Structure 1
């Protein structure tokens, strides 16, 4: 039996990036997915590629009616909702807090915070009567420490971590688990647009992320999707209210990749560089 047999999952922002990798992974392991996204052409193409296990629903995560409709479609098409992935996101307002407009703030928070709130709300309503379900939201390392993202993005992602804890506390009584994943820098169109001004220049983005990674590698969408799918699955049945940080050790104070780029005779010992005997 595959890990997601008889599962019905809504994934917001599933037409590209981490959401797409998650949708593909769920279907590959026997599940059914509603691709809830505003990118209609890409979303429909992905649904067609994945076949009968996937369906596209044009979704603006800021609109409550759209989220409610995506959940209803999942249940009509695939049966009782078992999973919700609140993945849709943008970088949003960038720049000094002294120059950030209230309009840019509102737009960023609507997608990154309101969208997650609505996803948890309507998924929980569908899951509660059946006392089963798993909700996973996308936080970020910017939601763990300051200085790893723009101000409003950081504020919103800290909110996702907090809401994960509070909603997880309430919904445990209904058999619903609520968790989050906090990715570090990951090679997606959104990241590439910030790093290189070209959303399609993944090669340069991969190189630059790897250069600042304690493990010396860049995170790929599939890496983050693996964490999301773990939390969605019954393998994580004892886990709720938790934020899984997936950042190659960046927020744990791990040394940068360059620290390991030393002569083969030099090894790390007790935090110091020492020569081997």
Structure 2
């Protein structure tokens, strides 16, 4: 019960990583304020908990909603101990030579601006709380291209830098700020953005799981609980000497191209060595 009596705010808590993390926090004694725009999903999250989950409708693209969420959690419990800034979606899928300003701004508002103001409006309620911390959801997409649409990747890279500068800004209050970087996690974050019907979403999740087995050293699809476990660690006393950093929870997908970890796949230097050995034999 690492979080017994603590107040925790989780955004994007109606499904996926947010839902799993809200359930994990509540299961370890936290009073969790689970926020989302999906009322039915929030109700399902609360019903699945064996602890305390208070649901709150919050559109994180609206700063007034974020402030109201933080103010409510603090007013009802006396303060806030942890905020998991997690709400998000796939964002605009256009390439940089095709994206329109509205799509770019909408993606940044949802994925980056929301994190900034999640921090901004929670801090007044966290000052003086022992062990207070933020955990922000970034992504492997922050590391380089090929993992997500362009605007999403740029926003998630911004979350990483915001985590660092936020940690520096809030050190004077003894508030820690860290991030988690999920890899391919079997949630509906991108399929929902594409408007897929439910039966196709299930097929897509199966395809992601199958692809993950081939694309990374850990041969299984990532699950929301894998990220929840990392978030709870970062928020716990066990991580009290960590701030301004991030945890990659990606099954090893960012280690490098397949030949870097699969001995069955020859890499460039293997091919060159074979050429050299062949030349010597001749």
Task: Give the alignment's TM-score, normalised by structure 1.
Answer: 0.87
Moved more, 84-93 or 199-208: 199-208
Structure 1 SS opposite 2:202 = coil
Partner of 2:236: 233
Moved more, 8-17 or 62-71: 62-71
| Matched ranges for 1:61-210 at <5 A | 61-130=60-129, 132-193=131-192, 197=196, 198-201=200-203, 202-210=205-213
Mapped partners of 1:254, 1:65: distance in 2: 44
- The alignment's C-alpha RMSD in Å is 2.4
| Structure 1 residue ranges without an equivalent (≥5) | 263-270, 273-277
Mapped partners of 1:247, 1:194: distance in 2: 22
Structure 2 SS opposite 1:85 = strand
Larger radius of gyration: 2
CA shift, 1:192, in A, is: 4.5
Mapped partners of 2:134, 2:9: distance in 1: 10
Mapped partners of 1:15, 1:179: distance in 2: 22
Partner of 2:253: 250
Partner of 2:223: 220
| Matched ranges for 1:43-62 at <5 A | 43-50=42-49, 53-62=52-61
Partner of 2:41: 42
Mapped partners of 1:248, 1:235: distance in 2: 22
Map Cα deviations across residues 135-168 of structure 1 (whole Å, 9 max, x no partner): 0000001112233221111110110000000000
CA shift, 1:211, in A, is: 2.2
Structure 2 SS opposite 1:245 = strand
In structure 2, the CA distance between the partners of 1:71 and 1:196, relative to structure 1 (3 Å rule), is closer
CA shift, 1:199, in A, is: 2.8
Mapped partners of 1:108, 1:228: distance in 2: 23
Structure 1 SS opposite 2:155 = helix
Moved more, 175-184 or 128-137: 128-137
| Structure 2 residue ranges without an equivalent (≥5) | 272-282
